[in-house]
Structure 1
Amino acid sequence: MAKSFASQGDLTEKKITFDEVGPDLWAFTAEGDPNSGVIIGDDSVMVVEAQATPRLAEKVIERVRSVTDKPISHVVLTHYHAVRVLGASAYGADQIIMSDAARGMVAERGQEDWDSEFQRFPRLFEGYESIPGLTWPTTTFTDRMTVYLGKRRVDIMHLGRAHTAGDAVVHVPDGGVMFTGDIVEDHSACYCGDGYFGDWGTTLDAIAAYDVDAIAPGRGGALIGRDAVTRAIASTRDFVDSTYAPAARVAARGGSLKEAWDAVRAECDPKFRDYAIYEHCLPFNVARAYDEARGIAHPRIWTAARDLEMWDALQG
């Protein structure tokens, strides 16, 4: 019998950290679990990433209330993944914002993604019974939009494909801070199962061009200072490139998915095996890299059944 996904055995509660990354700008992080961001404006608050369930969202709200009593008016969801979006109802926000592409992916594969992620990583769905259903945005944008929280300007932008087709980043110009979602990670594996390896580096370049003073990444600790920002962008690029190149070489010679898995492990294990969620992400990353190298441009939909089929093939 095939062993279970690494994430199914990850039952350890993670320590939450709440760091100020700029003036009235905060990063909610939890040792490699999904991060959230907090932007405090003159009269209200914007939260970036909702968490997977309303119960987990309450942990973010508790930290918000430790620094401000202003109402939460906006929730920005950088992409469609269940662990990021299904807690949105807890905030009572007037606007829930996604890119047009991300909304399209909720329609195309939102339920399948929810079922798949819940099977893979049950700990991240604490209080799953409180989820009212799929999260749909009230507001969408194509390339960029600007929200004013009083005088504070917040730019929400789609700079390119990377972690998904519809990734958004949130830039606060007056604070020199960007919330990148899962395009940038720090000492945490990138999940590439729905990604675009060929585009990811260009999107990282677009983020780097903003020359920000701090980044709140999708997973991992807050990146405060330009040296930390530069290091994390470089390590994210190395992770993505080191995953794709070995899989592409195997695909080019007609090798199997299992051979791609072995080649990627040989390249990535020495550098990244101590990263958070590395073992969880790796099979999905290899499967997507192998697909993209064989010309499958749009990531195939992960379902609970496809997850198990892929995992069985890698262990066969």
Structure 2
Amino acid sequence: MSKQFASAGDMEEKVVSFSEIGAGCYAFTAQGDPNTGIIVGDESVMVIDTQATPAMAQKVIEYIRTVTDKPIKHVVLSHYHAVRVLGASAYGASEIISSDLTYRLIVERGQQDWDSEQGRFPRLFQGADSIPGLTWPTLTFGSSMTVWLGKREVKIMHLGRGHTMGDIVVWVPDAGVMFSGDLVEYHSACYCGDAHFADWPKTLDRLAAFEPRAVVPGRGDALTSPQMVADGIALTRDFLTTLYTSVSASVAEGRSLKEAFDAARTAMDPKFGSFAIHEHCLPFNVARAYDEAKGLDHPQIWTAERDREMWASLQHGE
């Protein structure tokens, strides 16, 4: 049976949830679509990840206004992917914060990623004509920084490479809440097309060391207890380990990329086949794992053309 490209056929609207997972900390989730995090401080609001378009961001803003009328002063980009950053202009924030490494990735491949992601998942780009252009951070940092929302301390940290080389997390010490971006997923496939497989589990260890009481993952339900947090991290780790173990074994045995893909499907489908966007991610995940296992440290740039060539080669054997 022919598989439609990526998530081009996924046009069904998802049910949005908006929940308080710690004092003044909120999760905007939608059944496996990209999540947005919100922190309400004494004087202002911080938003973590913006949705893909200003039009889509308006849905988040509507929910924020049900709990506070404080100004949104800070937007944090957990990484550079278009579905996370291109809605930033809607919030009217005075600062857009990312890691230095994320800024470098936007320079290197931001436009290609935008073109690629919009082709893969058009539903997430509703109102694409509202995007004014690439989102450029106004404030970047190397390893960590602190933002004060009035008297409320928020720590923003680069704990290591994982989903991309520039991933950051946002930690609210007084609530014990962590916003992980796509470093953690919950019953959703990890997208690994720009990943660093050898580093990602170590980064998860550093995240877990904070012992968060709640986590907003990149996709999937908010993790609202220490046990759910542990489960979410364990699921993410298992996904990465199963995938990379399979693909690296294929590389060691001299198998082709298509053979590695078929072997990875055998390993992954029984455990993760029901996860959101699993089918979408698998060709891109295997391609990146194959490159890393062959010694390519810096991920290749995905373009709209490369996407479709990879999909045809691996999903259809063309």
TM-score range, shorter chain: over 0.9
**Residue 223 (structure 2) pairs with residue 223 (structure 1):** yes
The residue aligned with 2:292 is 292
Q: Deviations over 1:10-69 (max 9, x none)?
A: 111000000111001000000000000000000100000011000000010001000000
Aligned residue number for residue 282 of structure 1: 282
Paired with 1:168 and 1:285, the residues of 2 have a C-alpha distance of 21
Find the aligned partners of 1:130 and 1:10 in 2 and give their Cα distance: 21
Q: Which amino acid aligns with 1:303?
A: T
Q: Which residue of 2 aligns with 1:28?
A: 28
1:155 aligns to what SS in structure 2? strand
Cα distance in 2 for residues equivalent to 1:67 and 1:279: 36
Contact 2:185 2:236 (8 Å CA) reproduced: yes
Per-residue deviation, residues 127-171 of structure 1 (Å, max 9, x unmatched): 000000000000000000000001100000000000000000000
- Structure 1 segments unaligned to the other structure (5+ residues): none
TM-score (norm 2): 0.98
When the two structures are superposed, what TM-score results if normalisation uses the length of structure 1?
Answer: 0.99
Asked if the contact 2:5–2:308 (Cα under 8 Å) also holds between the matched residues in 1, the reply is: no
Corresponding residue number in structure 2 for 1:103 = 103
- Check if 1:164 corresponds to 2:164: yes
Aligned amino acid, residue 249 of structure 2: R
- CA displacement 1:74-104 (0-9 Å, x = unmatched): 0000000000000000000000000000000
Q: Is the 8 A contact 1:2 1:312 kept in 2?
A: no
Displacement of 1:310 in angstroms is 1.0
Q: Return the letter of the residue paired with 1:52.
A: A
Q: Residues 248-287 of structure 1: matches in 2 within 5 Å?
A: 248-287=248-287
Looking at structure 1, the residues matched to 303 and 153 of structure 2 have their Cα atoms a distance apart, in angstroms, of 39
Gaps of 5+ in 2: none
Find the counterpart in structure 1 of residue 186 from structure 2: 186
Partner of 1:10: 10
Does 1:302 pair with 2:305? Answer: no
Structure 1 residue 3, shift from structure 2 partner: 4.4
CA distance in 1, matches of 2:109, 2:4: 24
Aligned to 1:118: 118
Contact 1:43 1:70 in 2 (8 A): yes
> Percent identity at matched positions?
64
> Partner of 1:223: helix, strand, or coil?
coil
Q: Secondary structure at the match of 1:140?
A: strand
Number of aligned positions between the proteins: 316
8 A Cα contact 1:52 1:85, kept in partner = yes
Deviation at 1:312, TM superposition (A): 1.9
Paired with 1:244 and 1:185, the residues of 2 have a C-alpha distance of 17
Compute the displacement of 1:2 (Å): 6.7
SS of residue paired to 1:197: coil
> Displacement of 1:313 after TM fit?
1.6
Distance apart, 1:254 and its partner CA: 1.4
In the other structure, the counterpart of 2:71 is 71
Cα RMSD for the two superposed structures: 1.0
